[in-house]
């Protein structure tokens, strides 16, 4: 009789151990689910990627064309690089970002607020402008509004170099050398607003666009820091 009881206890112990081990394996499998690091963190309204409607938290990848719908806003994070907020009816191409030290984005139309959080060679292109974050700043925060007659660009924090892609080069009368129409701007949490058209880059006294306020920047900073 004692042997039967001992065998029963051993069998029961093996069964419990097996069940517990399987539970741990299932838990590990769940914890190893796919983590999307480059994604739409927040979406109000509608958005498409490469022409297909997508929901909030969808992943994004290099080469994607993002487009927001009417009355729609989208916040996109590319981990280890930047966070950005797209305004309604905006088209943005994520041209290249796999190498976080050398990236390129193209704003085809609309408005985007960029917060770059990584040093490197980065550029944002519009049909009329090229914007390059420069300097050893912890972040570079700027807003671009792609208008019919040019680009309104507002720098909030950091340093950027802006070039006009349409303006004819400036010719030095003495050396006859040609140089691009470009300017560098620096700011520390205070908007510097300027306009780029087919002829020049001029600082604006009053913005024609609705610039994001400090609360928007703070929200994006918090979203970027999420795990």
pLDDT tens for residues 62-109? 999 999 999 999 999 999 999 999 999 999 999 999 999 999 999 999
Is residue 6 domain-shared with residue 118, that is, in the same domain? Answer: no
Is residue 46 domain-shared with residue 108, that is, in the same domain? Answer: yes
According to the model, what pLDDT value does residue 2 have? 52
What integer best gives the mean pLDDT of the chain?
87
Q: How far is CA 51 from the centre of its chain?
A: 19
Q: Which domain holds residue 17?
A: 1-33
Q: Any idea what the CATH number is for the domain that residue 79 is in?
A: 2.60.120.1440
Is residue 199 pLDDT above 70, yes or no? yes
* List of residues 6+ apart from 185 with CB closer than 8 A: 155, 159, 160, 162, 192, 194
Which H or E run includes 222? Answer: helix 214-224
Is residue 169 domain-shared with residue 192, that is, in the same domain? Answer: yes
Q: Which two tokens stand for residue 222?
A: 């918090």
Angle at 193 between CA 75 and CA 108, to 5 degrees: 45
Is residue 43 domain-shared with residue 128, that is, in the same domain? Answer: yes
Give the residue from 185, 138, 143 showing the smallest Cα distance to 163: 185
Is residue 113 domain-shared with residue 24, that is, in the same domain? Answer: no
Among 22-26, 78-82, 120-124, 197-201, name the one with the lowest average pLDDT: 22-26
Is residue 119 pLDDT above 60, yes or no? yes
Is residue 140 domain-shared with residue 192, that is, in the same domain? Answer: yes
Is residue 78 domain-shared with residue 183, that is, in the same domain? Answer: yes
According to the model, what pLDDT value does residue 136 have? 86
DSSP E strands in the chain: the ranges are 38-44, 47-49, 52-53, 65-68, 73-78, 82-86, 91-96, 102-116, 121-125, 129-133, 140-147, 150-164, 170-171, 178-179, 182-196, 201-203
- Calpha distance 225→227 (Å, rounded): 6
- Calpha distance 15→7 (Å, rounded): 12
According to the model, what pLDDT value does residue 7 have? 47
Is residue 50 domain-shared with residue 28, that is, in the same domain? Answer: no
Is residue 135 domain-shared with residue 172, that is, in the same domain? Answer: yes
Total structural domains within the chain: 2
CB count, 10 Å around CB of 125?
18
Is residue 214 domain-shared with residue 133, that is, in the same domain? Answer: yes
């Amino acid at each position: 009789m004692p042997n039967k009881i001992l065998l029963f206890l051993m069998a029961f112990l093996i069964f419990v151990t097996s069940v517990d081990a399987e539970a741990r394996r299932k838990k590990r499998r769940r914890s190893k689910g796919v983590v999307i690091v480059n994604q739409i963190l927040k979406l109000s309204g509608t958005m498409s990627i490469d022409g297909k409607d997508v929901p909030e938290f969808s992943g994004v990848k290099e080469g994607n064309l993002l487009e927001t719908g009417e009355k729609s806003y989208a916040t996109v994070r590319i981990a280890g690089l930047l966070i950005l907020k797209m305004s309604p009816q905006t088209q943005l191409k994520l041209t290249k970002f796999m190498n976080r030290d050398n990236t390129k984005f193209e704003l085809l139309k609309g408005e985007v607020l960029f917060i770059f959080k990584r040093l490197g060679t980065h550029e944002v292109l519009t049909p009329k402008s090229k914007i390059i974050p420069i300097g050893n700043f912890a972040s570079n925060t700027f807003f671009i509004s792609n208008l019919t007659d040019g680009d309104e660009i507002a720098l909030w924090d950091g340093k950027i170099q802006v070039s006009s892609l349409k303006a004819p080069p400036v010719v030095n009368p003495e050396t006859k050398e040609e140089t691009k129409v470009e300017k560098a701007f620096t700011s520390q949490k205070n908007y510097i607003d300027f306009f780029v058209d087919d002829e020049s880059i001029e600082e604006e006294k009053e913005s024609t666009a609705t610039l994001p306020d400090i609360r928007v920047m703070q929200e994006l900073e918090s979203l970027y820091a999420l795990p």
